[in-house]
Structure 1
Amino acid sequence: MRLFLSLTATLTLASIGLSGCQQKDAEAAIEDSEQVQVEGNPGEGLYQKHCAACHDGGNTEAPTKAAIQLNGVESIRASLSTGSMKAQASMMTPIEIRIIADYLASPSSESALANAEKHQCKGQLSLSKPIWNRWGNSKRNVRFQPAVNAGITAADAPNLKLKWAFGFPGSARARSQPAVTEEAIFTGSQSGLFYALDSQTGCVWWTFEAKAEVRNAPTISTDKNGRAKTLYFGDVDANVYAVDAKSGELIWTRSVRDHPVGTITGSITLHQGRLYVPMSSLEIINAYLPDYECCTFRGGVMALDAKSGESVWRFYTVPEPSKTTKNKAGAQNYGPSGAPVWSTPTVDAKRGLLYVGTGENYSSPASDKSDAIIALKLDSGAVEWVQQTISGDAWNAACGRNGSQVNCPKEDGPDFDFGAPPILTTLANGKDIILAGQKSGMLYGMDPDAKGKILWETRAGMGGFNGGVHWGMATDSKTLFVGIADTPGNRFATGPSRQGLHGYDPATGKALWSKFEPNVCEEKAHKCMTALSAPPTITSDVVFAGALNGILRAYSADGGEILWSTDTRREYETLNGVNARGGSIDSAGPVVAGGLLIVNSGYDKFGQIPGNVMLVYSAD
Structure 2
Amino acid sequence: MTVNRWRALLGALLGAAALIAAALAPADPALADAGARHGASWPTWQHDTYGSRSNPDEHQITPATVSGLKLKWAFTYANLPYARTGSQPAIVDGVLYVGAPDAKFYALDAKTGATKWVYDTTPVAGPADASHQNLIRDGAAVSGGRVYFGDSRGYVYALDTKTGKLDWAAKADDHPLAEMTSSPLVSDGKVYIGVSSGEAGAAANPNYPCCTFRGSVVAFDARTGKIDWKYYTLPPAQRTGSWPSGAAQYGPSGVAVWGTPVIDPASGTLYVGTGNDYTGATGASDSLLALDTRTGKPRWTYQLTGADTYTLACSGPDPVGYCPSQGQGTALDEDVSPAPNIFKVHGRTLVGVGQKGGAYTTFDARTGKVIWQTHLSPPPAPGKQDPGDAGIQWGTSYDGKAIYAATWRGNPGKLFALDPADGHVLWSTPAPADGCTTGGAGLTPSLCTPAFTPAVTTTPGLVYEGGYDGKFRIYSSRTGTQLWSFDAVQDFQGVNGLPGRGLGISGNGGAVVANGMVYVQAGYYPYYPSDRGYVLLAFGL
- The TM-score normalised by the length of structure 2 is 0.84
Q: Does 1:507 align with 2:396?
A: no
**2:357 aligned to which of 440, 445, 451:** 440
CA distance, structure 2, for counterparts of residue 592 and residue 457 of structure 1 = 29
Question: For the Cα contact (< 8 Å) 2:115–2:496, is it kept in 1?
Answer: no
Cα–Cα, structure 1 residues 271 and 159, in superposed 2: closer, same or farther, change >3 Å? same
**RMSD over equivalenced CA pairs, Å:** 2.0
* 1:10-409 correspondence to structure 2 within 5 Å: 131-147=41-57, 149=58, 151-171=60-80, 172-211=83-122, 213-222=135-144, 229-364=145-280, 366-403=281-318, 406-409=321-324
Does the residue aligned with 1:406 lie in a helix, a strand or coil?
helix
Residues 564-608 of structure 1 show CA distances to partners (whole Å, capped at 9, x for unaligned) of 01111111122222110001112220111111011110115x767
Q: 1:330 and 1:547, CA in 2 relative to 1: closer, same or farther beyond 3 A?
A: same
SS at 1:270 equivalent: strand
Aligned counterparts, 1:564-583, within 5 A: 564-583=484-503
Query: What is the Cα deviation at residue 528 of structure 1?
Result: 3.0
SS in 1 for 2:322: coil
Corresponding residue of 1:539: 459
Secondary structure in 1 matching 2:200:
helix
Match for residue 484 of structure 1? 407
Q: CA deviation at 1:398?
A: 0.4
Give, as a single letter, the amino acid of the residue that structure 2 aligns with 1:443.
Y
How much does 1:150 deviate? Answer: 5.3
Q: Deviations over 1:400-444 (max 9, x none)?
A: 2124653313255111001101111123x2221111110111111
Q: Distance in 2 between matches of 1:369 and 1:175?
A: 26
CA contact (8 A) 1:467 1:533 kept: no
Counterpart in the other structure of 1:28: none
Are 2:333 and 1:415 equivalent residues in the alignment?
yes
Contact 1:150 1:592 in 2 (8 A): no
Mean Cα deviation higher: 343-352 or 535-544: 343-352
Match of 1:517 among 405, 416, 431: 431
Instruction: Judge conservation of contact 2:254–2:277 (CA < 8 Å) in 1.
Output: yes
Range with bigger deviation, 171-180 or 296-305: 171-180
Q: Which moved more, 1:344-353 or 1:409-418?
A: 409-418
Please give the per-residue CA displacement for 1:538-557, whole angstroms capped at 9, x wherever unaligned.
00111111011111011001
Report the CA distance between 1:484 and its aligned residue.
1.1
**Residue 90 (structure 1) aligns with:** none
Displacement of 1:518: 4.0
Give SS of 2:253's match.
coil
**Would you say 1:595 and 2:510 are equivalent positions?**
no
Distance apart, 1:498 and its partner CA = 4.4
Question: Distance between the aligned counterparts of 2:529 and 2:393, measured in 1?
Answer: 17
Q: Is the 8 A contact 1:527 1:548 kept in 2?
A: no
Greater displacement, 179-188 / 233-242: 179-188
Shift of 1:559: 1.1
Whichever structure has more strand as a proportion of its residues is: 2
> How far apart, in 1, do the equivalents of 2:245 and 2:40 lie?
53
- The equivalent residue for 1:76 is none
2:474 corresponds to 1:554 = yes
Q: Which moved more, 1:149-158 or 1:197-206?
A: 149-158
> Equivalent residue for 1:529?
449
| Partner deviation per Cα, 1:322-373 (whole Å, 9 max, x = no partner) | 2223211112211111000011111121222111100000012x11410000
Q: Is the CA contact (8 Å cut-off) linking 1:519 and 1:528 kept in structure 2?
A: no
Residue 320 (structure 1) shift: 1.1
Q: Look up the match of 2:32.
A: none
Counterpart CA distance in 2 for 1:473 and 1:264 is 20
The aligned amino acid for 2:357 is S
Q: What is the CA–CA distance in structure 1 between the aligned matches of 2:196 and 2:292, rounded to whole Å? A: 20
The 1-side partners of 2:217 and 2:319 are apart by: 34
The letter of the residue matching 2:72 is: K
Secondary structure of the corresponding residue to residue 519 of structure 2: strand
TM-score relative to the length of structure 1: 0.73
Residue type matched to 1:598 in 2? Y
Gaps of 5+ in 2: 1-37, 123-127, 129-134, 380-386
Residue identity opposite 1:232 in structure 2 = Y
Q: For 2:309 and 2:295, locate their aligned partners in 1 and report how far apart those are by CA, in whole Å.
A: 28
Q: Secondary structure at the match of 2:192?
A: strand
Number of matched residues? 472
Deviation at 1:181, TM superposition (A): 2.3
1:615 is matched with which residue? 537
Specify the SS of the correspondent of 2:256: coil
Letter of the 2:310 partner, please give it: W
1:461: which partner in 2? 377
Q: Displacement of 1:173 after TM fit?
A: 2.8
Q: Deviations for 1:35-61, whole angstroms, at most 9, x for unmatched residues?
A: xxxxxxxxxxxxxxxxxxxxxxxxxxx
> Is the CA contact 1:438–1:467 (under 8 Å) kept in the aligned structure 2?
no
The aligned counterpart of 2:383 is none
SS in 1 for 2:106: strand
Query: Amino acid of the residue matched to residue 422 of structure 1?
Result: P
Which amino acid in structure 2 is aligned with residue 378 of structure 1? Answer: T
8 A contact 1:469–1:485 mirrored in 2: yes
